[in-house]
Structure 1
Amino acid sequence: MAATNDQTVTVFGGTGFLGRRIVRHLRSHGFSVRAASRHPDRGHGLFGPDDPHLQSVGANIYDERSVADALAGAYGVVNAVSLYVEHGQETFHSVHVDAARRIAAQALRAGVDRLIHISGIGADAASRSRYIRKRGEGELAVRDAFGNALFVRPSVMFGPDDAFLTTILRLLRQLPIYPMFGRGLTKLQPAYVEDVAEAVGRTMQRAVTPSMIFEFGGPRVYSYEEFLRAVAHQAGLAPRLIPIPFAVWNALAWASEMFPTPLLTRNQVELMQIDTVSSPETPGFVELGISPHSVEAILQKMLSNCE
């Protein structure tokens, strides 16, 4: 653990899949950290032994006073709050646009020096995908409220206890015939969640820079079919991959959305038709001195830990 400086960073979404890793990596870079979330009690079991420089605090991103309290006296803030399936009042707009604007505005009011906003590769306010469109609108709202904000756009992230790689691995093991989204041609560049968290830590440490965007993709670009075959090969599986038209997936998602907790949404089907690959013109892992881990290397560790 690095020596602690006198700078505190508040991490909204600090108990989430990426957020809790960001908390740990910020601590390793010497920052005091406030992990702010709706369920602060979860933080006590996530961050190891008691650390006087790590607080788990309650925060409601929909409430200005709550956000302001979490930011009081902070040097930096990371907004790692995300939503992938809409539930009632929790919509892509309320989380990725309204709450993002609220956090940025309160950060400026609190005199915070540095704001890092976690978005996603492909974020675009003109996208036909509602999720990607709201990600893009959120970036614009944050930049409008906090002019020097830094934006981190990860590709789809993987790691232990994720909802991506572990789900695919489980299904590959259960299904001798695996239904693919479309013909499996969609491009993806999965990034290891610990690499992304380390990148956030290094970005927080960097000398003051104007607002800029980082995109973080892993070392290899796969087609969806190539990715499935790579995961299956590492796990010693040989499934039969069957193309299923997106129109069929949309129909299944529409039916699934009638249930309180849908297994599949039309938004998810839509995202599976959009490539998520980092732009070579945009700064990424290389500029921060990080050599990203491959899916194969991490999957081998995950598999060996399960044995």
Structure 2
Amino acid sequence: MSLRNKLVTVFGGSGFVGRYIVQKLAQQGARVRVAIRRPDEGLFLKPMGGVGQIDIVQANIRMPMSVQQAVKGADIVINCVGILYQSGAQKFAAVQARGAEVIALCAKEAGVQQMLHISAIGADAESGSAYARSKAQGEAGIRRHMPQAIILRPSIVFGPEDDFFNRFAALASIAPALPLVDGGHTKMQPVYVGDVAEAAVRALSNSAAAGQTFELGGPKVYSFRELLELTLAAIHKKRLLLPVPGALLKPAAFFMELQPLFAPPITRDQIELLKADNVVAANAKGLKDLGIDLPVPVEGTIDTYLFRFRRGGGKFEPRFS
């Protein structure tokens, strides 16, 4: 199915994954309505499309009336809203669980035909992590109201604005050592943000994808230790990789969560997440099922944006392709 001239409402379209999906939709000829809490922060998206092709509207998924307005008249609704840690009113339960269900309910009531939701590998109602539980609850809420919705579950998403490699590169710039939670043995399968966006538009264009869940992972599985080693190689720095039991790291994470000045480098909930591998299940549908046979690798890609953490690396300016 062609996306040309379809009106697509994208919640969280100015976020890391959302902005790449918006760009892909514009390239497909869709009309895009980007629904975000602070519209002024989404103005950079407008040049990704033609004149009037991308519209920015105000919506807060914690406020159903604003969601109702944002989905009115839309052919397709995409939810890219997600948070990595809780702050103020932005709680996992409110945003990733209830918020996702509110979008699905409003989409159903508005007669929207298609919905796509960005979840995460590891979504599990029984997890010890509140993040993972809320992701599972969000999926369940969407299925209640929009059973035909497409759910994408990416592993760690990497790209120029990511919150994984950039975070640890920044930490390595000021710290003599990086912590390996419980030895750094957790397995991960990072997927490139452009591949996630491509998977989204391909799934929406494929009627057979309706109601399906796809787990998205890159071409290679790494341990947490290996990913930190790749990060250090990319920024030309040597740092001690220090194994730390998660139980001992949690008190420090607690105090980092309390300070209001910057995003905590790691939270207690993220330590819980690191207890489980984050890789595509053996029987799961994935990128290949959407026609993406050569996903972008970590090696050689992170160097193109982590160079700014090298000595004299210069200023990084995101570019879209």
Q: Deviations over 1:3-47 (max 9, x none)?
A: 972211100011111111111111112211111101111221234
Give the Å deviation of 1:254.
2.1
Change (3 A) 1:104 1:72: same
Q: Which residue of 2 aligns with 1:287?
A: 289
Q: Deviations over 1:137-180 (max 9, x none)?
A: 11111100111111010111111122211111222343343332
Change (3 A) 1:158 1:125: same
CA separation in 2, counterparts of 1:178 and 1:90? 28
Q: Which residue of 2 aligns with 1:22?
A: 21
Q: 1:283 corresponds to which letter in structure 2? A: K
Q: Deviations over 1:45-87 (max 9, x none)?
A: 2342663111111112122221111111111010111122212
CA separation in 2, counterparts of 1:11 and 1:259? 32
Change (3 A) 1:267 1:31: same
Q: Which residue of 1 aligns with 2:98?
A: 98
Structure 2: gaps of 5 or more residues? 315-321
Q: Which residue of 1 aligns with 2:179?
A: 179
Q: 1:182 corresponds to which letter in structure 2? A: D
Q: Which residue of 2 aligns with 1:8?
A: 7
Give the Å deviation of 1:288.
1.5
Question: Match of 1:48, SS?
Answer: helix
Question: Match of 1:160, SS?
Answer: coil
CA separation in 2, counterparts of 1:256 and 1:231? 23
Change (3 A) 1:209 1:46: closer
Give the Å deviation of 1:236.
2.9
Question: Match of 1:122, SS?
Answer: coil
CA separation in 2, counterparts of 1:129 and 1:195? 27
Q: Which residue of 1 aligns with 2:254?
A: 254
Give the Å deviation of 1:235.
3.1
Report the more deviating stretch, 237-246 or 74-83. Answer: 237-246
Q: TM-score, normalised by structure 2?
A: 0.89
Q: Which residue of 2 aligns with 1:273?
A: 275
Question: Match of 1:86, SS?
Answer: coil
- Paired residues, number: 305
Q: 2:122 corresponds to which letter in structure 1? A: G
Percent identity between matched residues is 38
Q: Do 1:231 and 1:296's aligned partners in 2 also have CA atoms closer than 8 Å?
A: no
CA separation in 2, counterparts of 1:78 and 1:167? 27
Give the Å deviation of 1:190.
1.0
Q: Which residue of 2 aligns with 1:81?
A: 81
